[in-house]
Structure 1
Amino acid sequence: MSMLAEKVLKDLIKAIDNDELVLPTLPEVALKVREAAEDPDIGVAQLSKVIGNDAALTARIIKVVNSPLLRTNKEITDLQMAVGRLGINYTCNLATGLAMEQMFQATSDVVDRKMREVWNKSTEIAGICHVLCKHYTRLLPDQATLAGLVHQIGVLPILTYAEEHSELLADSISLNHVIEKIHPIIGDKILRTWEFPEQIAMVPSQYLDFSRDSAKVDYVDIVQVATLQSYMGSEHPYTQLDWSQIPAFRKLGLDPSHNLNEDEDLSAAMEAAMSMLQ
């Protein structure tokens, strides 16, 4: 590890330990949606009103409901109909996840490119999570999608830090090393600060623990397998691991050597899931 990476790691870990690291706040629309979701009496009309104040998010929700993955016989053009079709919980999780994209904004080109890269990878993994969850578990696909969208949220404060420290921006190897080392710790902290449910809040810090073996399949397993599947066929270091020794595959009942893209139905479903999130 370079001296620069060591120094930045020390600085950031110290800031985390002393609660001095400025954690990002949820976009306002996501906060309002989550607040609405906590009201047991919330109805489709009220939730639609909350989401309807954000034109971009409204368009995204309508796009999702009309995607090949969820499409009904009749095209849905109205937000209230879309929320009615998806249901309150599904809409809230989806709206929260999609609103995250607003946070991936930077003031410099280098950081902006890196943020785009992280967000694109997150939507890819979220799409795979949706399909894995639906086909191989009895867990909720909307929660799995949200877990995929937020699993790299810890990268944001590191990139914000990098924007203020040009020497780190100029050294992409050190920057990537710092991201790899501590984004899971920061991601965990962010999701707990945002009061995400425990089953999702623990995803950033645990999805890269390939020896992890919980009692039953959970969202960490889904994000872990989705991450590995996303690198299948590449020369990424994760493809050098012995996947047959990774418990998450067994818990999903999935053959580690099976490339989901070779299954026409699953491949089409993953394509649809990814495109609905982009």
Structure 2
Amino acid sequence: MSQQNQLYNTILTDLDKGKLVLPTLPDVAIKVRDVVSDPDATSAQLADIIMTDAALSARLLKVANSPLYRGRIHVDSVQTAITRLGLKMVRNLVTGLVVEQVFRPTSKKLEKRARDLWQHSIEVSAISQVIASKQSNIKTDEAMLAGLIHAIGVLPILTRAEKDPELLDDESRLDMLIENLYPRIGAAILKSWEFSPNLITVAAEHANLNRNSGPEGPDLCDVVQVANLQSYFNTDKALDPQTRHRVLAFEKLGIDTGISVVELDENSAEYAEALAMFENF
């Protein structure tokens, strides 16, 4: 049995037995989700929860006053920010803002990997928002969250690898394990977090270059798949043009396979604003 299959089978066995250490969704995100799921929920109720976390409140106000969402009047209260953004958008935004806690490294050896993973997730999130803004059936706040959590499955693999010094020192072997395992593990995490099926699909399928979302039109996974591939433009992880051209998500979204979102003048400012939402926190 290969090293990849052995580790994958071990993780699945532990998952089935409830022994696998999965990242936990911060309590405030769970409370916010519970309130928003109540049809009678009010912005005041939601504000009361968010204001228990001073840092989160400040982040939400920063986003509400950012170029992406600001109105003509500066927002200076959490409840006003919620009213401006809407309950469902705030739910996804809060989840996105607090999920950074999950990416905090548990050891010095993993610090750079965790930091690079979070930065990559921010970039995919920003590109996903720009792409979603051009689609009539994809909400930008859902695309934002989907981009942030698309690679969440990497984290338990790093945690397990931390127990194997030889694996941690073998960068190429660890990269191979991550590449083969993280989508399936990510889907398991989002199921444990009780996320929606479309977000679970993003984690499970965004790296599947043969995926076909069907005749209904582009879906959230198509958006994140293209955003993920675009984030690798001009890097050593970029797909060759022929392979990229065969990815159906580009065609479904009407996006040129040879142009990244940051290379388009009309999108560059929007991308920069979306990127700034989660940087420097």
Q: TM-score scaled by structure 1? A: 0.93
Task: Tell whether the 8 Å contact from 1:228 to 1:239 is kept in structure 2 after alignment.
Answer: no
1:96 aligns with 95
1:71 is aligned to 70
1:276 matched to 2:277? The reply is yes
CA distance in 1, matches of 2:239, 2:45: 45
Instruction: Tell me what 1:231 maps to.
Output: 232
Equivalent position of 1:221 in the other structure: 222
CA RMSD in angstroms comes to 1.9
Equivalents in 2 of 1:133, 1:177: separation in Å?
30
Query: For each residue in 1:4-58, what CA deviation from the matched residue of structure 2 results, as whole angstroms up to 9, or x when unmatched?
Result: 6565344334434555322222111111111111111111111011111111211
Q: Do 2:125 and 2:145's aligned partners in 1 also have CA atoms closer than 8 Å?
A: yes
Return the alpha-carbon distance in structure 1 between the equivalents of residues 260 and 25 of structure 2.
35
Question: 2: CA distance between counterparts of 1:249 and 1:222?
Answer: 9
Counterpart position of 1:24: 23
Contact 2:241–2:257 under 8 Å retained in 1? no
CA distance in 2, matches of 1:174, 1:16: 23
Q: Percent identity?
A: 40
Cα separation, 2, equivalents of 1:170 and 1:196: 34
Asked if structure 2 preserves the Cα contact closer than 8 Å seen for 1:126 and 1:146, the reply is: yes
Q: Which residue of 2 aligns with 1:107?
A: 106
Tell me, in whole angstroms, the C-alpha distance in 2 between the residues paired with 1:63 and 1:32: 21
Give the distance between the partners of 2:94 and 2:140, measured in 1 at CA. Answer: 14
The structural deviation recorded for 1:214 is 1.4
Counterpart residue number, 1:250: 251
- Select between 105-114 and 48-57 the one with higher mean Cα deviation: 105-114
Match of 1:136 in 2: 135
d(CA) in 2 for partners of 1:262 and 1:168?
Answer: 38
Q: Is the 8 A contact 2:4 2:180 kept in 1?
A: no
How many residue pairs match? The answer is 277
In the alignment, which residue of structure 1 is the partner of 2:263? Answer: 262
1:79 and 1:118 map into 2 onto residues whose CA distance is 30
Are the aligned partners of 1:36 and 1:47 in contact in 2 as well (CA < 8 Å)?
yes
CA distance in 2, matches of 1:217, 1:168: 38
What residue number does 1:42 align with?
41
1:123 Cα deviation from its structure 2 partner: 0.9
CA gap 1:68/1:187 in 2 versus in 1, 3 angstroms: same
- Structure 1 segments unaligned to the other structure (5+ residues): none
Deviations 1:238-277 (A, max 9, x none): 2455322211111111222233222222011011101112
Q: Is the CA contact (8 Å cut-off) linking 1:133 and 1:144 kept in structure 2?
A: yes
Aligned CA distance change for structure 1 residues 30 and 239 (closer, same or farther; 3 Å): farther
